[in-house]
Amino acid sequence: TPVLFWFRRDLRLADHPGLVACQAARVPVIPVFILDPQTEALGAAAKWRLGLAIASFRERLQAIGSDLILRRGPAKETLLELLEETGACEVHWSRNYTPDAIERDQEVKTALKRAGRHALSHPGHTLIEPWAVSPAASDHFRVYSPYWRAFRTIEIAPVVPEIEALPAPALWPRSDNLAGWRLDAAMNRGAEVVARYACVGEQAALERFAAFLDEPWSAYRNGRDRLDLAATSLLSENLTYGEISPRTIWHGVCASGGDQEQGGETFLKELVWREFSYHLLYHTPHITQRNWRAEWNAFPWRGDNEQAARWRKGLTGEPVIDAAMRQMYVTGTMHNRARMLVASYLTKHLMTHWKIGMDWFAQCLIDWDPAANALGWQWVAGSGPDAAPFFRVFNPATQAEKFDPDAVYRRRYVAELAGDNPGEAALAYFDACPRHWSLDPEQKYPEAPLIELKRGRERALEAYQHYVVKN
Ligand code: FAD
């Protein structure tokens, strides 16, 4: 009898522990992707990008004699139906760790058991399970450095062999048509633009990684904070859909030689921030919803407001902030330092709640990751674990001088600052943003910034003194 493999964020054939386990059983495998309510709820850009990931993965499966069956509906009912239709008695999947996913998967497990069928979940989305390391006195770490030290003592399991053939069932069940899912519905304007920058599928992800490894590690170490350089791996886009495994990256880096000792280690530390974010998400799931530290609940952050709307549009009048917000619109991603700057500007200079920013990122990022996004926002806002102290307010102007010394990044994305001859990315912004914003390339850049930087900083610090320190 065949088994079902329920794919979610693991759209690859290399280093796939769950698929290897199925293959070892030498039974036909029916790969399935379900558009369930949780997947339906993804932000516009992530949902659109998921559609590309599914199409690419389906081709990859077809090339090894298999296929990907697409079904729409609640996961539990859909899987039970498929088991009935195919006569399969096992469902496998790779674990996810958001509270919603854990709850859904638990329900599926219980329902399958009740129906006399088996559910088997596998690792693979992270380097280690989020619960695998803990400090002596508690179940989870709150601070990154000791987490990293504990993490570094663990041996990361080797990658498992790539799947080269997957036995097909005698009869394939019916599949939905991917185009009919309209995963691009909310991206109707930006998709064409973002598609120029996206790097879709397992093969492309592996090539992207290989190209990154070809560069000297010193380029990463010295350039990773520079907004104007392309010194980072950009692999977050692929990691989030599982087009490459974190273990492939880890072992690839460890084997890369060169001046690996310095830059390679810096890169691994970044990769382990992703692990840390899953560690926190697992142990403190409220991180995606509420202030991680309750003492922040009294802080007078504003809800959505006119200034936040201008922040979303990239029209604050603060060039580096606007460049970053437009980069996200055009490319679907944003440089890490730029993410920190725009998050600080929104939560401190504009005194707007981090959730407003976090939700906007969830709409716009093609590398949206529930754990990294929540941790990133709470880290910058000051309300998270191991957060940047609130009183360390980034000054966008001095940050821009330091990390974009020749204003290349600002001109790359803000046409109004680019003189007579704005580049392709700057102009693409006007095609990528929603039509109802009615922006036009001839527009004038805001004459005055939304708030004077010194004044914004002082206002944030006063509120901090008043509401957080006292509480
Ligand atoms: P590289 O420097 O090449 O790093 C390699 C990998 O390490 C990344 O692909 C990523 O998986 C991981 N990584 C690096 N930095 C971090 C970090 N600070 N936290 C967690 N993992 C990290 N990352 C996302 O993947 N999705 C998000 O939705 C997301 N939202 C963020 C929101 C804010 C406010 C902030 C400050 C950060 C956010 N990050 C997010 C983390 C980080 O900005 C991105 O992972 C990074 O910019 C991806 O670029 P890269 O792949 O070139 O990184």
Residue pLDDT, tens place only, 401-425 = 999 999 999 999 999 999 999 999 9
Per-residue pLDDT at 72: 98
Is residue 316 annotated as involved in ligand binding? no
Beta bridge partners of 119: 91
pLDDT tens-digit profile of 206-235?
A: 999 999 999 999 999 999 999 999 999 999
Per-residue pLDDT at 387 exceeds 80 = no
What is the DSSP pairing of strand 29-35 with strand 69-72? parallel
Averaged pLDDT score across all residues of the chain: 96
- Residue 271 has, within 13 A of its CA and on its CB side, a CA count of 28
Tell me how far the alpha carbon of residue 324 lies from the centroid of ligand 1, in angstroms.
Answer: 15
Q: Mind giving me the DSSP string for 382-400?
A: T-STTPPPTT----HHHHH
Q: For residue 120, which phi and psi values (nearest 5 degrees)?
A: -130, 120
Q: Mind giving me the DSSP string for 77-116?
A: HHHHHHHHHH---EEEEE---SHHHHHHHHHHHHHHHHTT
Q: Give the pLDDT mean for 302-328.
A: 98
Q: Please give the number of the atom of ligand 1 that sits closest to the Cα of 343.
A: 34
Q: Give the pLDDT mean for 184-193.
A: 93
Instruction: Indicate whether this model's pTM tops 0.95.
Output: yes
d(CA 223, CA 219): 5
Q: Is 263 in the pocket of ligand 1 (CB under 6 A)?
A: no
Contact 317, 323 (CB under 8 A): no
Q: Is 266 in the pocket of ligand 1 (CB under 6 A)?
A: no
pLDDT tens-digit profile of 10-35?
A: 999 999 999 999 999 999 999 999 99
Q: Is 433 in the pocket of ligand 1 (CB under 6 A)?
A: no
Per-residue pLDDT at 467: 86
Per-residue pLDDT at 442: 87
Contact 202, 82 (CB under 8 A): no
Per-residue pLDDT at 261 exceeds 70 = no
Q: Is 235 in the pocket of ligand 1 (CB under 6 A)?
A: yes
Q: Please give the number of the atom of ligand 1 that sits closest to the Cα of 271.
A: 7
Tell me how far the alpha carbon of residue 379 lies from the centroid of ligand 1, in angstroms.
Answer: 13
Q: Is 225 in the pocket of ligand 1 (CB under 6 A)?
A: no
d(CA 390, CA 347): 10
More confident residue, 387 or 137: 137
Q: Is 377 in the pocket of ligand 1 (CB under 6 A)?
A: yes
d(CA 151, CA 134): 9
Q: Give the pLDDT mean for 433-460.
A: 93
Tell me how far the alpha carbon of residue 33 lies from the centroid of ligand 1, in angstroms.
Answer: 26
Count of CB atoms within 10 A of residue 99's CB?
A: 15
Tell me how far the alpha carbon of residue 55 lies from the centroid of ligand 1, in angstroms.
Answer: 25
d(CA 397, CA 199): 32
Q: Is 239 in the pocket of ligand 1 (CB under 6 A)?
A: yes
Determine which helix (DSSP H) or strand (DSSP E) holds 191, and give its type and residue range.
Answer: helix 191-195
Residue 6 CA: distances (Å) to CA of 20, 85, 212, 266: 14, 15, 31, 35
Residue nearest to atom 9 of ligand 1 (CA): 236
User: Which residue, among 456, 227, 221, has the nearest Cα to 325 in the 3D structure?
Assistant: 227
User: Which residue, among 315, 320, 311, 318, has the nearest Cα to 404 in the 3D structure?
Assistant: 320
Q: Is 372 in the pocket of ligand 1 (CB under 6 A)?
A: yes
Is residue 232 annotated as involved in ligand binding? yes
Q: Give residues with Cβ within 8 angstroms of 299, minimum separation 6.
A: 291, 383, 463, 464, 467, 468
Residue nearest to atom 41 of ligand 1 (CA): 372
Per-residue pLDDT at 290: 96
- The alpha carbon of residue 223 and the mean position of all alpha carbons in its chain are separated, in whole angstroms, by 22
Per-residue pLDDT at 260: 62
Q: Is 54 in the pocket of ligand 1 (CB under 6 A)?
A: no
Per-residue pLDDT at 184 exceeds 80 = yes
> What is the largest distance, in Å, between two alpha-carbon atoms of the chain?
70
Q: Is 133 in the pocket of ligand 1 (CB under 6 A)?
A: no
Tell me how far the alpha carbon of residue 367 lies from the centroid of ligand 1, in angstroms.
Answer: 8
Q: Is 373 in the pocket of ligand 1 (CB under 6 A)?
A: yes
Q: Is 271 in the pocket of ligand 1 (CB under 6 A)?
A: yes
d(CA 212, CA 219): 10
Pocket test for ligand 1, best of 235, 270, 380 (most atoms within 8 A of CB): 270
Q: Give the pLDDT mean for 245-256.
A: 96
Per-residue pLDDT at 316: 98
- The alpha carbon of residue 241 and the mean position of all alpha carbons in its chain are separated, in whole angstroms, by 9
Q: Give residues with Cβ within 8 angstroms of 378, minimum separation 6.
A: 287, 291, 292, 354, 384, 385, 387
Count of CB atoms within 10 A of residue 166's CB?
A: 19
d(CA 453, CA 215): 38
Per DSSP, 120 falls in state E
d(CA 138, CA 248): 31
Q: Is 339 in the pocket of ligand 1 (CB under 6 A)?
A: yes
Per-residue pLDDT at 188: 83
Is residue 235 annotated as involved in ligand binding? yes
Is residue 15 annotated as involved in ligand binding? no
What the chain holds in terms of domains, given with CATH numbers, is 1-125 (3.40.50.620), 126-156+192-283 (1.25.40.80), 294-469 (1.10.579.10)
- Residue 318 has, within 13 A of its CA and on its CB side, a CA count of 31
Burial of 246 from C-beta contacts in 10 A (0-12 / 13-18 / 19+): buried
Beta bridge partners of 32: 6, 69
pLDDT tens-digit profile of 317-355?
A: 999 999 999 999 999 999 999 999 999 999 999 999 999
Tell me how far the alpha carbon of residue 60 lies from the centroid of ligand 1, in angstroms.
Answer: 27
Tell me how far the alpha carbon of residue 268 lies from the centroid of ligand 1, in angstroms.
Answer: 12
Per-residue pLDDT at 471: 58
